[in-house]
Amino acid sequence: MKNIKIAAVVAMLTLGFTSCKDEKQEKAQKTIDSYVAYVDSVKNVKADDLKENWKTVEAEYDRKSAEANLALADIKDNTAESERINTSKAKYEEFKNEVTALFAPPAPSPKQQLRNALFGEGKIGDDMSFSWVNAQNIHSVYQQFVHTVENNKDSYSREDWDEIKVLYEALDSRKNTVEKEGLTAEDNRKIAGLKIKFAPMYTVNRMGAKAEENKDAKK
């Protein structure tokens, strides 16, 4: 009789353990299903909605992905589920690349690329404002401008040189203002040296670019 009772207790414990194990596997399965479903659902969201909420989408994806990978440990034979997770991950990465390309800002125009190179990223926009140039930084601005032109003079078109001249004259105009705001004699002297270097470089290379342009036009 005692043996029967012990056997019954063992059977109940085994049944309870098995039941608990089944529940754990079922929960893990649902977690993985949720991850796979999330990836599929994101691909059906409108582009405008994605753009507005992309950070939230990414955060939710990261959370569900981490949970799904942890859930694999609770499934005894998880080969199939592991493949499902990897497939969904590949789908999401491909989709993410498409979305990133879609939301990327348009490439700056050639004119803006030239301005960025001469003065720094976004320093000079369509408003042609040089208000950020002051007595403390104007020498370094001239320095970057002239050295950049010198390094790239052989690649500029006639149109580029025309833009360079407009920008150079605008910078010179700003210098007239800055001189009254504490520009040191030393910086003024250094800027004068850069201007002497720039003038013939501009004249010679613009003439060369124009001649090359005329030559190409005749072909």
CA dihedral sign, ordered 153, 157, 160, 162: positive
Q: Are residues 76 and 96 in the same domain?
A: yes
**Better-predicted residue by pLDDT, 210 or 84:** 84
Range of the domain at 160: 110-218
For residues 115 and 210, state if they share a domain. yes
Please tell me whether residues 117 and 211 are part of one structural domain.
yes
Q: Could you report the per-residue pLDDT of 152-167, keeping only the tens digit for each?
A: 999 999 999 999 999 9
Do 95 and 189 share a structural domain? no
Give the pLDDT confidence of 198-207 residue by residue, as tens digits.
999 999 999 9
Pair 134, 68 in one domain:
no
Residue 29, SS3? helix
Q: What is the pTM of this model?
A: 0.57
Report whether 28 contacts 72 (CB < 8 A): yes
> Rounded to 5 degrees, what angle do the CA atoms 138, 140, 143 make?
110
Out of 55, 76, 103, a domain closes at 103
Predicted confidence (pLDDT) per residue in 115-163, tens digit? 999 999 999 998 999 999 999 999 999 999 999 999 999 999 999 999 9
Nearest Cα to Cα of residue 22 among 58, 74, 95: 74
Please tell me whether residues 174 and 85 are part of one structural domain.
no
